[in-house]
Chains A and B, each alone.
Chain A
Amino acid sequence: MRLSISLRSLPRPLRIVLARLTILVPQMFGVLLATFLLIRLLPGDPALLMLGNMATPEQILSLRERLGLNGSIWSQFTSYLSTVVHGDLGTSMFTSNPVVVDLLDRVPATLELITYTMILTITVSVTLAVVAVTKPKGVIARFSKVYGLAAGAVPDFWVGLLLIYFLFNVAGIAPAPFGRLDPTLSAPPVVTGFLTIDTLLAGDTAAFASAVGRLCLPVITLVIVNAGALMKMTQMVFADNYRSEFVRHARASGLCEWQLVRIALRNSLPPIITMAGFLFGFLLGAAVLVETIFAWGGLGQYAVSAVMNSDYPALQGFVLVAAAFILIVYTVVDVLYGIADPRIQV
């Protein structure tokens, strides 16, 4: 009782964060359990599966020992937990690197790609939606209608290939679609893993320009393909709010146009946040075709090759990272949602 009273006295945003973070712990535990069971659910001996058909009995035995497969399922899980907590996700059978090393290499590449994609997607789709609603007879409104129809129907790899063909092959203004950085330049020391930030931290402007240039085409590809859905939804929600009684009343009270747009947009935030969060999580795996086309060396590519090669430790690592990422994104979504809408009880 006393605890709940002291919680009540905290400012609302802090309460939302605290409430959401407390759920995060059991959720994370659930994710670990799921990834652990994932490998146990596969038929046959996990050690054999992990090592492949060429494994010798001794290898299998030693792996079984190392994985703790001889103990009870509970002790196996606790030993799995302790290895994960110590940062050991096993060794990839395909790259023969520790999975953690592989992931540390690839996760930032994908994160950088999809973070910039998200920023641009939200900016583009919200701007288009707002302009299309406020100026229903303008050029933008007509463009958004056509784009909204087309966006869902265009596959991302096709857009990517077209962009490469026209901007790199024909016009020659885009950099080559091979990786995140010009091979002649040396990568900056890793701080955040985001090349655009690390190059700036290192003060290497040439590398920064190259990193930004290489980001352009894949980001544009993903934005073109994914902004349509967000735009359509924003347009719908925003139009409802823009024509609502409270905006009309605000107009009757003499507020000016940009304030009305702000009021309507502020009220449209909750669904936009939810949709953007969903899209962010979705892109983590869905960017794989674009990553492949641009030889990005990202997480999606890694996951696909892990599946193709029955690389179970790598797959397990990917699932864990993806699940954790989505959990974090959804936590942020929930927190922002609660802050954006004061009617939500916390």
Chain B
Amino acid sequence: MTKVNQPLLEVRNLSVGFSDGAHSLALQHVGFSLKKGEILGIVGETGAGKSLLARAIIDMLPGDGRIVEGEILVNGHAISKMTAEQRRGYRGGEVALIGTNAKSLLDPVVNVGEQIARILRAHRGINNKDAWREAIRLFEQVGIVDPHRRAHAYPHELSGGMAQRVVIAMALIAQPKILLADDATLGLDATIQLQVLDLLVEKCRELGLAVVLITHDLGIVASYCDRVGIMKSGRLLELETIRSFLNDGPKHPYSQELLDAARVRPLPMGYDQAQNGSQAPPLLEVIDLVKTFHVEGSSEPVRAVDHVSLTIRKGETLALVGESGSGKTTTGQCIVRLLQSDSGSIRFDGTETLSLPDRQFRDVRRRMQMVFQEPYVALNPRWRVRDLVAEPLKLGERLTRAEKQTRVMELLDLVGIASVKADAYPHELTAGEQKRVGVARALAIRPDFVIFDEPTTALDIRVRAQIIDLVRDLQKRMGLSALFITHDLNSVRSLAHYVAVMRHGKIIEQGPTEEIFANPKQAYTRKLLDAELPIEARAEASTPILQTEQQL
């Protein structure tokens, strides 16, 4: 391969260490190069060193981190040989960084137009008026409607997607040649994520930027990148073109593991269909549920849940999908009566629960549990795992100390947490383990019905797959019915028998998972489904062999 043009970015044998532990390097011998207009995806799980790599490239290693070995060259110039002032100009001017959670990246007390203008002023000696004009021109280019007015808005007045666009504009304003996007769309709704990524990639192709797209979502890499690098514990395990990675399969076993984990599981069998083939009576029946909230400063109440009706039979899973703010979580909280519903009917195993007095509802609640969205927030930080799992047991029949102990260990075993972790505190657990503890708490008193609120969001690929497998397994073993609230369509396909699509508090479409995915009727459902970035999309297009493999 002969290179006519010099690589724009070259990372040569880069090792980064922290002075406190010289024996373990945070980055080990990472090397790659990037040409103009090329998009490289770096994939890895939490702690793989992806973000550290980005920060090494932009010369902002955290704490006392330093480059132990190797070099980073931009346009053939080594960063290590630059003066402090050159480095400042290099940051933002040559290489720009787009981080996670755009809202936290913006100065909360300065309007966004000024934030962009001041970056331009720092890089080019132009006056305020020209900088503002430039900022507004760029706002228009990144698809911000009404840029003049938006430029005067403060970050808290923007939506997540809008804030991400502002951050992209911030990155592009000084016309850098390399863009580092570090999990830039994490936490955004799928449709917004798609818009933002489309915009980002389109802009970069248009301007001929080299992009390093750091993510833990292989779907993003498959859809947007030219090459993919897999990272694990500070090493770059393999670097391939996306085509050969997906079609010929990864070379490294870890990459294969990631790819397998990210793939959709075959559709689960219905519990009843598997058992006796007949339709069981519904376990949960929600009819015309309404929940309104009063917003300050407005006389019109907000209908968070607007005449929602749904049915779940024993052993079935219904997935409630929709964008944030569509009322999914509120529906779930109304069902377990964490929120008082305004009207409608919720029938659980034949009992109308809405009108039940609190005392009697406690019996129902024993059979109906909820796994909360933020696992860490939902766990008491000062309790050990053992106590956290034992707590809901108080709801059930009285147990002796020893019985309780065995039950806790059983539960931890069930959700796959090692017994040595029983004495750990929540902050000592990984995000996946925290989710599992949440699941164990919900299952402690053997409920018939569990609501999972976003169980797979913001988790690493393999952990997410483990949680999905766990829920599938539990369902098979215990005949659990579940309401699965999520916006992660990949996990819906792996878990749910039925799907209900929610928008603005209403269910606009529902039906069996296969049917909805194969043949969505509503335009909004189609839009939502299109926003999913499946790994298969590329592979399907090129290799029919792989497709048949998946159907097995």
Contacts and interface: CB of A to CB of B under 8 A. Distances in A.
Contacts of B91: 251-254
Contacts of A249: 97, 99, 105-106, 167, 170
B93 A254 contact: yes
Contact of B107 (A246, A256, A340): A246
A52 B111 CA distance: 63
B97 A255 contact: no
Contacts of B101: 245
A337 B110 CA distance: 14
Contacts of A341: 109
Interface in B86-118: 88-93, 96-97, 99, 101, 104-111, 118
Interface in B35-81: 58, 60
A246 B104 contact: yes
A259 B108 CA distance: 15
Contact of B89 (A246, A254, A266, A267): A254
A251 B99 contact: no
Interface in B140-172: 154, 156, 167, 170-171
B253 to A, nearest CB: 35
B154 A259 contact: no
A253 B154 CA distance: 19
- Most chain B CB inside 10 Å of its own CB: which residue of A245, A250, A343: A250
Contact of B109 (A251, A252, A267): A267
Contacts of A44: none
B122 interface: yes
A341 B101 CA distance: 21
B123 interface: yes
Nearest to B91: A254
Contacts of B107: 246, 250, 263, 266-267
B109 A342 contact: yes
Contacts of A40: none
B96 A245 contact: no
B119 A252 contact: no
Given A248-B60, A342-B154, A343-B154, A255 B122 contact: yes
Interface in A232-281: 244-246, 248-256, 259, 263, 266-267, 269
B122 A254 contact: yes
**Contact residues on B (Cβ < 8 Å of other chain), bracket:** 20 to 34
B174 interface: yes
B156 A343 contact: yes
Nearest to A264: B107
Contacts of B156: 342-343
A244 B106 CA distance: 10
A275 B48 CA distance: 43
Interface string A322-346: 0000000000000000001111000
Nearest to B95: A252
Interface residues of A, number: 21
Nearest to A254: B92
A258 to B, nearest CB: 11
B60 A259 contact: no
B60 A254 contact: no
B105 A245 contact: yes
Interface in B494-511: none
Contacts of B96: 252-253
A323 B389 CA distance: 54
Contacts of B154: 342-343
B108 A254 contact: no
Nearest to B100: A245
A35 B501 CA distance: 64
B92 A253 contact: yes
B58 A252 contact: yes
Contacts of B92: 252-255
Contacts of B119: 250, 253-255
B93 A252 contact: no
A206 B101 CA distance: 61
A259 B120 CA distance: 13
A343 B109 CA distance: 8
B156 to A, nearest CB: 5
B433 to A, nearest CB: 25
Contacts of B88: 254, 256
Contacts of B89: 254
Contact of B97 (A252, A256, A340): A252
Nearest to A269: B109
Given A249-B97, A249-B99, A254 B90 contact: yes
Given A248-B60, A249-B97, A259-B118, A254 B123 contact: yes
Nearest to B62: A248
Nearest to B102: A249
A244 B92 CA distance: 18
Contacts of A256: 88, 122
A320 B111 CA distance: 42
A319 B522 CA distance: 70
A13 to B, nearest CB: 14
A315 to B, nearest CB: 43
- Most chain B CB inside 10 Å of its own CB: which residue of A245, A246, A343: A246
Nearest to A253: B92
Interface string A126-161: 000000000000000000000000000000000000
A252 B122 contact: no
B112 to A, nearest CB: 11
A342 B106 CA distance: 13
A30 to B, nearest CB: 26
11 contacts: A249-B97, A249-B99, A249-B170, A252-B97, A253-B96, A255-B92, A259-B118, A259-B122, A263-B110, A267-B107, A343-B108
Given A244-B104, A249-B106, A269-B109, 11 more contacts: A249-B99, A249-B170, A252-B60, A253-B96, A254-B174, A256-B122, A259-B118, A266-B107, A266-B110, A267-B109, A343-B154
Interface of A: 244-246, 248-256, 259, 263, 266-267, 269, 340-343
Q: Which 9 pairs from chain A and chain B are nearest by CB?
A: A254-B92, A253-B92, A249-B105, A254-B91, A252-B97, A245-B104, A342-B154, A253-B119, A246-B107
